[in-house]
Structure 1
Amino acid sequence: MKLSKERYPVSVLKEVQDSIDVRPEYQRPLVWTLKQKRLLIDSILRGYDVPKMYWHRQPDEEQFEFHVVDGQQRLTTIWEFCNDGFALPKDSDPVDGISTAKLKYSGFNTELKKRLHLYSFDVVIVEEAIQNDEEDEVREMFLRLQNGTTLKAQEKRNAMTGRMRAFVKEVAQHPFFESCKFSNTRFTYDHIAAQMTCLELAGEPVSLRDSDLNKMYAEQTDFDPKGNVAKKVRRTLDYLTQAFPEHTRELERYNAVTLYSLASSLIDNYVHQGTEKKLADWFIAFETERRADMEKDEDSRDVQLVEYQRLTSYSTDAAESLAKRLEHMQRRFFLAAPDIELVDPTRIFSEAQRLAIYRRDGARCQLRIKCDGSEKLKWNNWHADHKVPHSAGGKTTVENGQVACPDCNFAKGAVG
């Protein structure tokens, strides 16, 4: 990694805004308060030392010439102030006898503008990283430079390298999150997406604390975004999006992960096609009942709802809490929807069943999607197919089985 140092006066920083990306994917969102922004402008006017910035030079074909590694808040504050985005406080002390109280940039006289424009920042330029390991160094630099600031755990994970980080970033863009009440402030969607992925990896309720998610990111750097776990996460979120196609205020941070676990279990173990509306109607009714119960006097409240409420308030990311909340949701949901059937636990036809199906169907394909069924199939070149799909409640029985040639069976899967 090659570093060089340059000096940029504020007057130049104003002009090069379009060539600087302050939000590369590893950066955190803008978090400075108005007080912090005002303090920076006041420090510049008084000539106080402000920490240097770090920029990463990009290849010529990229949209931006630089990505900001460190200095995001300072840069955006300068640009915002110079566009009259905020005023200095009413109790600001004069700068060399010049009052700055309640002034915006447009209210500055020539002397104040000169002080602002001529103030120069030291900028360390990280030259273009060609190799992947050099790009990793840039991310490591970002984490180290932020070490003394209040980065949230998910903001740190967002700057980590590896396929797990990339997969969580992808999942965080899923439309389901737009249906939730909570916003993506400081990578909240990424945090919830990481928890959902962690649950799917484990296949059961597990601890979802920051330390557990950090471990997942570290151990799953080679995570397969096309593997079974990734497919299951997407499939479950697709199901939830069908259940909640519009913004739903009942979808809070504390219940989104538990609801995901319930949906994931439905997909794995039950005939779930067409149950999306049932789940949504039940969930909204459940949340309405829970909120109404909280308004009752203590002696009149539902004991089970009191316990559920306690579990959503304390140790919410602990394995035991997640398991008990899921158990509570499952019990109430299946009481409200008793007609939902379990899928047949046996998915694969036995050799005896296969032989019976093969003889009954005369070794000829019954699907006839890609073929006409006239050719007699050899024993080592056919599939035993469920007439009623297993996922739709079809049983793994000879009666529900049929001979299918590989081409037709694959075509059936593609269209259904």
Structure 2
Amino acid sequence: MSKKPLPISTICAWKTRIDPTPDYQRPPAWSRKQKQLLIDSILREYDIPKMYWRSVSRDDGVKYEVIDGQQRLRTIWEYQAGEFALAKNIDPVNGIACAGKKYADLDLDISTIFDAYPVDVVIVDDAIQTDEEDEVRDMFLRLQNGTTLKAQEKRNAMPGQMRDFIKDVASHKFFENCKFTNSRFAFDHIAAQMVRLEMAGEPTSVRDGDLNKMYDGNRDFDPIGKVAKKVRRVLDYLLRAFPDKTPELERYNAIVLYCLSSTLIGSYAHSGTEEALAKWFIEFETERRKNETLDEEERDPQLIEYRRLTSQSTDSEESIRARLEFIERRFFLAYPDIEPLDETRIFTPEQRLAIYRKNDGHCQLKIKCNGERLAWADWHADHIVAHSNGGKTVVSNGQVACGPCNLVKSNKPDPNGATAS
């Protein structure tokens, strides 16, 4: 590392070469009052904390990434660009009035103080490679010690593949259709809770301490493993159910809807149920909100209890379990015809032989081929009625398929009226 006192004029000139928010950084969070106080301190030539930058070489021309000092750096840039003015009640600087003034309005002597002010910048000179990213994240967390970082902002800077996977999941379009915004990594927080619930396979506590342990204990998490694939599959299902902005999708609702959708995908003939889920949920929320407007003696006590569960200890196992049981009961009462999946998904060797002989070894799909005859070691036993649609794993529901045809079927009707497994 090396320390360089850089004048603010240089820091502003280098703006396009500096990335203030690499992915472990939190978003801009300072208030106008905090920004004004920093600029006032600079004009009075008080010391301000040093910044830490990492030297990099990127294709977009960026030469430095900010490890610490993002809020101060942005404030300096914004004031120099005229995006805010000083507070209206500050005292003169060196006898010169500055109250309420933007940078362009400052007296020349005062703007010179601003331009020449030396900011201590510690440069991590070595271009740290990918295998040393953990050191940068660790430095960021150490430098933030004692500041008001939220729990998810700290987790976002933790090393490991779990953090990277959740960061990727948080970019799923489903979250954009929820009511809450991504302020201070809210999407990452909800995504992390969903991943923990999926890993547990049942309602469990998703408090910050639990999420911290999950991040730390799963640094080698497999982003293409069983859990990861299921998480993405559930979010894809939810996006099909809610393709547009849905104000009813509060944080606590997103969690229980994830759990319900995961159950549907894992245990029920769920194909085509997305519209039913969305319709039921919006009707339920409408009923629940209307219930709150009724006189106390006319309110549904079950809906009152559900509302209590959404407002107290919402991240506890007890709250999530109770809300999910309530939601599942109501949903399946509204749609009693949704069938459980056949517990057996894979055809037995005896069933495979019977299916092969039944079709004389010829591909029945005929999507990529003309029904060619396949060798015994080179065919797929395919469900005619998809397993996800409630199709049974029995010989009468099995057919021969070649690999290319089976892979492109993708839940669409084939020329013979079959659907994908």
Considering the TM-score relative to the shorter chain, is it more than 0.5?
yes
**Displacement after TM superposition at 1:365 (Å):** 3.9
SS class of match (2:396): coil
SS class of match (2:283): helix
* 2:49 corresponding residue in structure 1: 51
Deviations 1:107-145 (A, max 9, x none): 211121122112111100001334334322111111000
* 1:393 corresponding residue in structure 2: 390
TM-score scaled by structure 2? 0.93
* 2:324 corresponding residue in structure 1: 326
Q: How does 1:332-343 map to 2 (within 5 A)?
A: 332-343=330-341
SS class of match (2:187): helix
2-side partners of 1:348 and 1:192: how far apart?
34
* 1:143 corresponding residue in structure 2: 141
SS class of match (1:399): helix
* 2:21 corresponds to 1:26: no
Change in 2 beyond 3 A, CA 1:14/1:116: same
Deviations 1:205-231 (A, max 9, x none): 111111111111112212121222111
Letter in 2 for 1:216: M
**Displacement after TM superposition at 1:413 (Å):** 5.4
Q: How does 1:10-409 map to 2 (within 5 A)?
A: 10-59=8-57, 61-370=59-368, 372-373=370-371, 375=373, 377-378=375-376, 380-406=377-403, 408-409=405-406
2-side partners of 1:204 and 1:271: how far apart?
19
**Displacement after TM superposition at 1:354 (Å):** 3.3
**Displacement after TM superposition at 1:384 (Å):** 2.7
Structure 1, 347-356 or 248-257: larger mean CA deviation: 347-356
Equivalent pair of 1:365/1:377 in contact (CA under 8 Å): no
Change in 2 beyond 3 A, CA 1:60/1:313: closer
**Displacement after TM superposition at 1:407 (Å):** 5.0
Equivalent pair of 2:345/2:387 in contact (CA under 8 Å): yes
**Where does structure 2 lack aligned partners over 5 or more consecutive residues?**
413-419
Structure 1, 346-355 or 223-232: larger mean CA deviation: 346-355
Letter in 1 for 2:276: K
Letter in 2 for 1:232: K
**Displacement after TM superposition at 1:344 (Å):** 1.5
Structure 1, 339-348 or 309-318: larger mean CA deviation: 339-348
SS class of match (1:229): helix
2-side partners of 1:256 and 1:219: how far apart?
25
- % identical equivalent positions: 60
1-side partners of 2:34 and 2:270: how far apart?
51
Letter in 2 for 1:389: A
Letter in 1 for 2:400: V
Change in 2 beyond 3 A, CA 1:107/1:398: same
Deviations 1:331-368 (A, max 9, x none): 11112222222221221223443343344334444334
1-side partners of 2:58 and 2:183: how far apart?
32
2-side partners of 1:370 and 1:292: how far apart?
54
SS class of match (2:65): strand
Equivalenced residue count is 413
**Where does structure 1 lack aligned partners over 5 or more consecutive residues?**
none
**Displacement after TM superposition at 1:60 (Å):** 5.9
Q: CA RMSD in A?
A: 1.9
* 2:6 corresponding residue in structure 1: 8
Equivalent pair of 2:362/2:401 in contact (CA under 8 Å): yes
2-side partners of 1:170 and 1:180: how far apart?
17
Structure 1, 292-301 or 73-82: larger mean CA deviation: 292-301
Equivalent pair of 1:58/1:66 in contact (CA under 8 Å): yes
Change in 2 beyond 3 A, CA 1:110/1:404: closer
Equivalent pair of 1:59/1:128 in contact (CA under 8 Å): no
Letter in 2 for 1:5: K
